[in-house]
Every structure is written in C-alpha cells, then in structure tokens.
Amino acid sequence: MDQPVLELVDGTKDFLGTRALDHVSFALRPGEIHALVGENGAGKSTLIKVLTGVYRPDSGELRHRGRPVSFSRPVQAQQAGISTIYQEVNLVPLRSVAGNVFLGREPRRLGLIDWRRTNELAGELLAGYGIDVDVRRPLGTLGVGTQQMVALARAVSTDAGVVIMDEPTSSLEPREVETLFAVVERLHSRGIAILYVSHRMDELYRICDRVTVLRDGKLVHTGALAEVPRIELVSMMLGRSIGEIERHGATTFSDEGHVAGAEPLLRAEGLTSTPKLSDVSVSIRPGEVVGLAGLLGSGRSETARAIVGAFPLQSGTVYLAGKPLRPTVGAAVRSGVAMLAEDRKADGIIGNLSVRENIVLAALPRLSRFGVVSRARQDRIVETFMTRLRIKASSPDQPVAELSGGNQQKVLLARWLATEPQVLLLDEPTRGIDVGAKAEVQALIDELAADGLGVLLISSDMEELVDGSDRVVVLRDGAVVDELSGDAVSADNVLAAIAAPTTGAGT
C-alpha cells in the first residue's frame, strides 16, 4: 500500500517561457483520497494533464505502479486504468446518455453496436448511482449537474485504479453531491486511488486523507489533511500569514453597504416563460448589488438571461433608464447591459482564440472606425484589464484555453467591462475558482458598485450572496417569493423564504 499507484518525480513543465510546474514531486497511494489544492494558476490543471497524458513533462519522471511510463496521449493513461472527470463536462452533447457512458467500448453484436444492450447497461449503471434519466436522450439536453453525474458514471465504470476528479461538485445540487460522496466512498472501499480537486473546504475535510498544496507551480506541502487546520491550509495556498487571513474575514466584500441611486437603472417587470418563469420582477439601482437567491431550477439564471434577451419570453418587459429594452442580446450589449454566464466553457470563452481576442471580442464595434479596428486601442484595453484583474498569462497572445479556470473567468469579466456597461449581471462569478481569485472577484464587485454600476449577483454560495448584496430577491419555482433589504439580508431569512410554503409568501 505504500508504493504509489501514480507518481511524478521532480517534474517540470513550461509554456511559452512560463514555468507551470517547477520541480514538483507528487505521489498518489492506492486506496487514498488525496486533495490537490492551490490558487488558480498554481499548477493543478497542469499536474493533472501531465498525470493523464495530455502533456509530457519537460523533465522529471512519471511512474505508474512503480514503473516509468511515458503517456503521449490521454487514451494511453485510460488504458492504464487512469480515469478523469473534468470540471467542465468533456463528453459529446449530441450523443445519447448511454452512448456517452460507453463511448468507445459499446457492446457489439455481429460487428455492430448493440444499442438495446448499451441502453440496458447504462440504465442499470446510472440507477446504481441514483441517476434517474432516459439514457436514450441526447446528453446536451440535460442539465449541467446531470451531465456531470453521467461523466462520473462513465469514469468509474471502466475498472480504473485511479480516478481524478477536478471540481466534480461545482455544478451539482446538494442531493447530487451526497450521491457523489457515496460513490467516492464506494471507490475508496474498493482500494481505488482518488485525486480530488476542489476549492470547497468542507468537502476536502469531509472525505480526503492527504493533501498536496501547490503555489505558483511549486510544491508547498504534502501531508495528512487532518493535521492541517483550515486557516493554515488557506495560508499555504495564498502565501499569506494566518493573522492577515483572520483579519480579512470570510469574504472580501466591504462591511459597508453601497450608496445606490434613488431611481432604478434597470427594471424587469412581469417576466414570464412557462414553466421556467412566472411574473418575475426585479429592479437594480445604480451603485447597488442586488442578489438573486434560490435553489437550482428556481429561475435565477433564466431571469438574468431573459433580461439580456437570451431567454425567450411569453410576456414581460425590461426597462433601462425608463425606456423599453429590445429583447435581443445585441440590443442589451449596445445599451450597456452585460452578462457573465454561469457556464464559461459553453457560453463564454473561445478556447482557440488568444487572451487578447477574447477580451476585446464584445468591444470590437466600439473600437472600429470605417470597419477598421485599431490595434493600438485593443492593446490599451487588454493591458488595462490584464493589470486591473491580475490575469496570469505568459502574454496577451496565449490561447485562453491554456489558462486556469480562475484566469479564464477574469478574461470574461474583462470582456464585459471593456464594453463599459451600466448594468452587469453576474451568474455564479466565483464558481470553480480558488480562494485567491474569489477574493479578487468579490473585491471587484464592490469596486464596480462604488463606481456606479448596477450589479445583479447570482450565487449558490450563501455567504457570498449575503455579504455582497444590498438587496436580495428570492425565487422559488420560477416566481419571486420574497425581497429582503437592509438588516433583513441574512442567510437565515433567505433560507426561510426559500423553504416557506407558497401560500402567504411575501412578494
């Protein structure tokens, strides 16, 4: 049991002159649940890709069950029994659920895929993990959380000896998280080694045995997680003293509320789209952060998308500065209403374009004269926002897909800030990013409100929602059930509004 099932010895990896891994040694033992933590850009994703054959280390040695190996492709790692579940589902959306579960290893009959048997096996497998879904449906028609559970089922159905989980709960509901943990315990009892990447401290301390901390591509610490207090773990991740972190608090939002204008800058009235939204009304004043609370499926994202014209409505109107806003994304952007979408991979970054191209994308019409885009103006905008948001990249020309999740999120924020919006809708702006990047985004939200922007904040992190919002609108089943402001904005009141019976609920 002491011999690692998977090990990197003194590994380095460089990208365009930037060292992503700096002589890192890592060992994963059979049957352990090993946490991998660090800020975005610390080297976690690079280490995972070296372990799984996406990258080859520039120096150092990769070992599998004590023997040197050199994976040149991910399929070689998979054949060696190493499965990976990525934060952003990496399956085929147009293929059926069953087809995705058994992709590349479908049961065959007379040389052809036996779809009846494939569907039966997939249904049995998913049912065993508490997933009730029609396995014949295209995967892309399901919610992100369900897709993540399908990816999990696929990974653990391959008789793997190693399962790598990269932020597996970032898109899951609480019930699905419990299902995931049950699967993790089952794998653990079978002696399967699990590398678990998460920014959620409660998860790490609940299920993980050991922890490895990376910072700026270097190994900071490896050891038993139970022996490391939470605040010390955060201190190692950030490279800051424990005293500084204790003084700073749980979030980086200002203790003082924002000074908002008297009249609403944006009003959404009677937004209805059966069955997702029912007569939803929300207003945002300049300089105000309005939180949108509710469980997954409550209509939070649909409300934000409807405001910017990305979700079709049966009725309802959005007003900006008292004038009706045309229900199209283009009209919203031109009028100064921008939205950071929840799924940055599907609705945000364009991976094969550079950081520069992703940042200026939405601002190109404003940067052009007679159809010609000024490169100098692009450079000024890119430099301004890369500095302001502390985007870590080797250069503005680096493909954005090579950046960490937190830095990709900052690039998307830069894209919309470059349009000089009046209203910014943020859907889960800190999901799946580390504590350092999270603090920077929270501080930025405060700064934007202080500059007079109206901000709509959607977050599943109750502490973030309560600390960051001046007012909170609570949704349930696509309808507004309460609105809290001032001292009434608290986690207890938000949860009470979510859980209260529909009859007699406040509006």
| Tokens representing residue 381 in the block | 């905008």
- Give the dihedral sign, CA 245/249/252/258: negative
Alpha helices in 29-165 (DSSP H): 44-51, 74-79, 97-101, 115-128, 144-156
Would the CATH topology of 6-88+162-248 be identical to that of 339-420? yes
Find all residues with CB under 8 Å of 73, minimum gap 6, and list them.
53
Closest C-alpha to 102, from 120, 85, 81: 120
pLDDT above 80: residue 260: no
Residue 502's CB is within 10 A of a number of other CB atoms, namely 9
Secondary structure, 3-state, 132-190: CCCCCCEHHHCCHHHHHHHHHHHHHCCCCCEEEEECCCCCCCHHHHHHHHHHHHHHHHC
Say which CATH superfamily domain 6-88+162-248 falls into: P-loop containing nucleotide triphosphate hydrolases (3.40.50.300)
d(C-alpha 368, C-alpha 336), whole Å:
18
Angle, in degrees to the nearest 10, between helices 375-388 and 405-417: 130
Give the CATH number of domain 339-420; options: 3.30.70.20, 3.20.20.70, 3.40.50.1100, 3.40.50.300: 3.40.50.300
* Higher pLDDT pick, 129 / 229: 229
pLDDT above 50: residue 504: no
Overall fold of domain 250-336+421-507: Rossmann fold (3.40.50)
pTM over 0.85: no
Coil vs helix vs strand at 310: coil
Cα Rg, the chain, nearest whole Å: 24
**Residue 427 in contact with residue 341, Cβ under 8 Å?**
yes
pLDDT tens column, 167-215: 888 767 777 788 888 888 888 888 899 999 987 788 899 999 999 999 8
pLDDT tens column, 42-93: 889 899 999 999 999 999 999 999 999 999 899 899 889 998 887 766 789 8
CA-based angle 451:454:458, to the nearest 5? 120
Task: Spell out the domain ranges in the chain.
Answer: 6-88+162-248, 250-336+421-507, 339-420
Q: How confident is the model at residue 243 (pLDDT cuts 50, 70, 90)?
A: low
**197 pairs with which residues across the strands?**
36, 166
Residue 507: predicted pLDDT: 34
Coil vs helix vs strand at 247: helix
**Residue 33 in contact with residue 27, Cβ under 8 Å?**
no
pLDDT tens column, 458-477: 987 788 899 999 999 999 88
